[in-house]
Structure 1
Amino acid sequence: MEDRQRAKLPTDTLRRARSLRASATDAQRVIWRGLRNNQLPGFKFRRQYPIPPYVVDFVCLTAMLVIELDGSQHSYQTDLTRTRFIESQGFTVFRFWDNEVLQQTDAVIEAIWNACRSAAPHPNPSPDGRGA
């Protein structure tokens, strides 16, 4: 993952990510308030993060978790193609509808928190390879 962070991104991808950060939807702003500033301890989130050729809504690199918020403009086939590519890069993708985020914010944040905790490696792995 370190290489991905250090790799030079195409200028248009960076420009698009910056533009998307500046024009966040209501649902994106609500979720960002619940994810930023280490509000889920141990899991740092980034918003509008480039995974070329895409820019994902939110990502936690520690948990290799991508959060995508879908509004009425989303198409099933386009989202499926996008999700498959992002998963091929080693990420797990969670999708939520905008109205779900706006009406059930706490439940969405809790689902994200649970996904992070289950995806993250155990902090004290067994030295002989046994499970926790």
Structure 2
Amino acid sequence: MPHQPVKPAKRSFARALRREMTEAEDRLWHELRDRRLDRIKFRRQVPVGKYVADFVCFEAGLIIEIDGSQHAELESDRGRAVELESRGFRVLRFWNDDVLKDLNAVCDTIIAYVRDVSLQPWR
């Protein structure tokens, strides 16, 4: 996936999102940062096209999105996933509650998806 220039406004927006992460994003980032999760490199709040992805593993072409209940079956989320997938990414989504209540299962799932690029997200 070739690097594409990011507009200054998008870069500023991504920085603001890094400062204002939700509790679930913050907890997951604590597990993902500094290659803590199975030595896998992740970046947070990364501009990808016209969107800012919550977490990205470029090596595995995997984006992880953490969603609150406001994202239940939103058409805009489907459009977002289609664009990110067209850029070569798989988009793995978890609910905030998944992260807050069963972080170990979330981390195990992430490891499985990074290690097996043939796995496709279920939602």
Taking structure 2 as the reference length, what is the TM-score of the superposition?
A: 0.90
Q: Is the 8 A contact 1:69 1:96 kept in 2?
A: yes
Q: Give 2:78's aligned amino acid.
A: L
Corresponding residue for residue 98 of structure 2? 100
Corresponding residue for residue 33 of structure 1? 30
Q: How far apart, CA to CA, are the structure 2 residues paired with 1:31 and 1:20? A: 15
Q: Show structure 1 runs of 4+ deviating over 4 A.
A: none
How much does 1:40 deviate? 2.7
Unaligned runs of 5+ in 2: 119-123
Unaligned runs of 5+ in 1: 121-132
Matched residue SS, 1:50 = strand
- Alignment RMSD (CA, Å): 1.4
Corresponding residue for residue 121 of structure 2? none
Matched residue SS, 2:93 = strand
Q: How far apart, CA to CA, are the structure 1 residues paired with 2:95 and 2:39? A: 26
Structure whose alpha-carbon radius of gyration is higher: 1
Taking structure 1 as the reference length, what is the TM-score of the superposition?
A: 0.84
Q: Give 2:98's aligned amino acid.
A: E
Matched residue SS, 1:15 = helix
Matched, 1:88 2:90: no
Q: Is the 8 A contact 1:45 1:59 kept in 2?
A: yes
Matched residue SS, 2:69 = coil
Q: How far apart, CA to CA, are the structure 1 residues paired with 2:25 and 2:94? A: 11
Aligned residues between the structures: 117
Corresponding residue for residue 62 of structure 2? 65
The correspondence of residues 1-132 of structure 1 with structure 2, limited to 5 A, is 1=1, 3-4=2-3, 7-74=4-71, 76-119=74-117
Q: Is the 8 A contact 1:56 1:68 kept in 2?
A: yes
How much does 1:73 deviate? 2.3
